[in-house]
C-alpha cells in the first residue's frame, strides 16, 4: 500500500506560509505507507518551488528521493493511454496532464488514497478500480 502524492501537498509542506502547510507537512511526515510521486508531479513541483521559494526547497525534495523517503513513479505506456482517455473525458474541467498522471498511476498501482489539495478535480474523476478516491489531508485551510 502506498500514498500517491500530488503537487499541492508537497508544495504546501515546503512553504511555511501556505495555509495548508501544517496539515500537509504532518500528513507527509506521519505517513506509514510509502509516498509515491508520479514523475510529472516532480516537474510541476520544481517549477513552483523554484519560482516561489528558491532552489533550496526543491533540493530538499530531491534529497528525500535520494534517501528513499519518496518514490518517484515513472509512467509506462498504459499510463499514457489512460492519461489521454482522462484528458479527453474530463476536457471540460480541464483535468490536465499532471492530474491525469496522478489518477493513472493510482489506478495502475491499485491505490485509492491520494494526497491532494485539488478537491475539485479529484473529487469528480471516477477511477476504474474503486468507487472514488480517498483524498487527504482530510481537512486543510486552503
Instruction: Let me know if residue 141 belongs to a domain.
Output: no
- Per DSSP, helices labelled H in 33-96 are 39-52, 55-66, 77-89
Q: What is the reported pTM?
A: 0.95
- What CA–CA distances, in Å, run from 91 to 24, 30, 94, 117? 28, 35, 5, 20
What's the structural domain count of the chain?
A: 1
Tens digits of residue pLDDT in 27-85: 999 999 999 999 999 999 999 999 999 999 999 999 999 999 999 999 999 999 999 99
pLDDT of res. 138: 83
Residues spanned by the domain of 90: 3-136
Looking up residue 12, the CATH number of its domain turns out to be 3.40.50.1010
Tens digits of residue pLDDT in 113-130: 999 999 999 999 999 999
Question: What is the 3-state composition of the chain as percent helix, strand, coil, each rounded to the nearest 5?
Answer: 55, 10, 35
Instruction: Let me know if residue 142 belongs to a domain.
Output: no
pLDDT of res. 74: 98
Tens digits of residue pLDDT in 89-117: 999 999 999 999 999 999 999 999 999 99
Specify the residue for cell string 500514498: 3
Amino acid at each position: 500500500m502506498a500514498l500517491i502524492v500530488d503537487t499541492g501537498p508537497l508544495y504546501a509542506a515546503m512553504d511555511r506560509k501556505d495555509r495548508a502547510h501544517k496539515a500537509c507537512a504532518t500528513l507527509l511526515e506521519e505517513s506509514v505507507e510509502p509516498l509515491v510521486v508520479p514523475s510529472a508531479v516532480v516537474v510541476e513541483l520544481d517549477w513552483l518551488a523554484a519560482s516561489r521559494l528558491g532552489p533550496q526547497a526543491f533540493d530538499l525534495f530531491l534529497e528525500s528521493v535520494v534517501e528513499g523517503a519518496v518514490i518517484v513513479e515513472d509512467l509506462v505506456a498504459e499510463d499514457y493511454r489512460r492519461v489521454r482517455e482522462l484528458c479527453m473525458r474530463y476536457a471540460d474541467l480541464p483535468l490536465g496532464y499532471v492530474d491525469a498522471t496522478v489518477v493513472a498511476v493510482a489506478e495502475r498501482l491499485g491505490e485509492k488514497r491520494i494526497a491532494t489539495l485539488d478537491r475539485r478535480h479529484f473529487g469528480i474523476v471516477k477511477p476504474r478500480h474503486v468507487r472514488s478516491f480517498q483524498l487527504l489531508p482530510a481537512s486543510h485551510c486552503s
